[in-house]
Structure 1
Amino acid sequence: MTEYAIYKGDDLLKIGTLEELAEFRKVKRETILFYATPTYRKRTTEKGLRVIKLD
């Protein structure tokens, strides 16, 4: 099971699966995946949400 970490700026908000993070943020699983893309990073500031895949 792959885990992801979600950050707001430098602050870690939660670590969990895509489903757990989606429930935490009250968004769809696909939205959490979008937060991890380079396109989303370009559209937001450094203080925006970031999702990092953990190995």
Structure 2
Amino acid sequence: MTIDEAASAIGRTSPDVAVQGLASLLAEWKLNADNVDELRGQVERYIGNSWISAQR
């Protein structure tokens, strides 16, 4: 699975703003100069500061 496929798969799981933001964060990561350790930190901060709705 590529980073684009992962971002797309995450984005399809829910219309929740936090989920869509995480998908965007992943998709945009490959466009900047951050390494994978910086991505991990960004994802941890993003998830740690977000509430994902459990509504289905």
Bin the TM-score by the shorter chain: under 0.3
Q: Which has the higher contact order (CA 8 A, sep 6+)?
A: 1
TM-score by length of 1: 0.28
Q: Which is greater in Rg?
A: 2
- Bigger fraction of residues in helix: 2
TM-score by length of 2: 0.28
- Bigger fraction of residues in strand: 1
